Amino acid sequence: MKSGSFRSIVMGSLIIAGLSFPAMSMGADKEGAGLGIGLRYSTLGGGVEIGKSLGKHFGVRLGLNSFSENATEEIDGIQYDAVLDLSSTSLMLDWYPFAGSIHFTAGYVNSDNELIGRATPTGSVDIGGEVVVPVTAGDLVLDGNIQIGSGLFFGLGFGNVPRKGFGLVLEAGVIQSGAPDITLAVSGDPGLIAAIDQGDIDAEVAAMQDDLEEFDLFPVIALGFSYGF
């Protein structure tokens, strides 16, 4: 799903929620507008969210998150100089079983998360079962792109973004993002890379996916503050 279409659905859902639940929101309106904003930092990066109360036991939140970092990552035994870019939009439905701050959450995270890496190994290196020996940096260049997908989110937490006044927000859960989508390109000295065929590259991509299988369930831990109007 393209991010523009998802944002349209998110905004439409919030408008419908605001128009369809006036009776449910009356309790919140007695103490405030039933609308709040939050700032948070999580494993998805820094973020901002807007929350709308749907009564004492339910609420919806729209969130935006982003993060970028340079890092060195070892994937299938090969060191990559990498850039991690995280960007996501989320729509969450919160259930407050005790009409307080403890909540259970289900929602969807639309992500454009990727890890872009380049490896210039020296010495013996295994590419999908084919062992080559680049002597100097640049003899063999591996360019990898790893896309971490969107998915359903399930979690639990403490905090109530729409509640009037300042509040603390804690949350933990997982995104069912599925296996990462990986592409790998090989370049360098023609005599060296001639030994590497497409089958070797495909085998290396499969090994990288096995090494990154923990991203099938992307963990989310968040801490932040909120203010309700």
Beta partners for 156? 104, 172
pLDDT band at 32 (very low <50, low <70, confident <90, very high): low
**Rounded to whole angstroms, how far apart are CA atoms 29 and 36?**
12
Count Cα neighbours of 44 within 13 Å in the Cβ-side half-sphere.
Answer: 33
Res 42 pLDDT > 60: yes
99 and 75 Cβ atoms separated by less than 8 Å: no
Share of the chain above pLDDT 70, in %: 86
Locate all alpha helices (DSSP H) within 163-216, ordered by sequence: 190-193, 198-211
Total-model pTM? 0.79
Domains defined for the chain, CATH in brackets? 3-228 (2.40.160.170)
Distance of alpha carbon 94 from the chain centroid: 19
Predicted confidence (pLDDT) per residue in 96-135, tens digit: 999 999 999 999 999 999 999 999 998 899 999 999 999 8
In 3D space, the residue among 10, 178, 149 whose CA is nearest the CA of residue 93 turns out to be: 10
Predicted confidence (pLDDT) per residue in 44-81, tens digit: 999 999 999 999 999 999 999 999 999 999 999 999 99
**Rounded to whole angstroms, how far apart are CA atoms 207 and 72?**
18
In 3D space, the residue among 206, 197, 173 whose CA is nearest the CA of residue 92 turns out to be: 173
**Rounded to whole angstroms, how far apart are CA atoms 108 and 103?**
16
Res 137 pLDDT > 90: no
Q: What is the mean pLDDT of the chain?
A: 87
What's the one-letter identity of residue 199? G
Q: In this predicted model, which residue has the larger pLDDT, 127 or 21?
A: 127
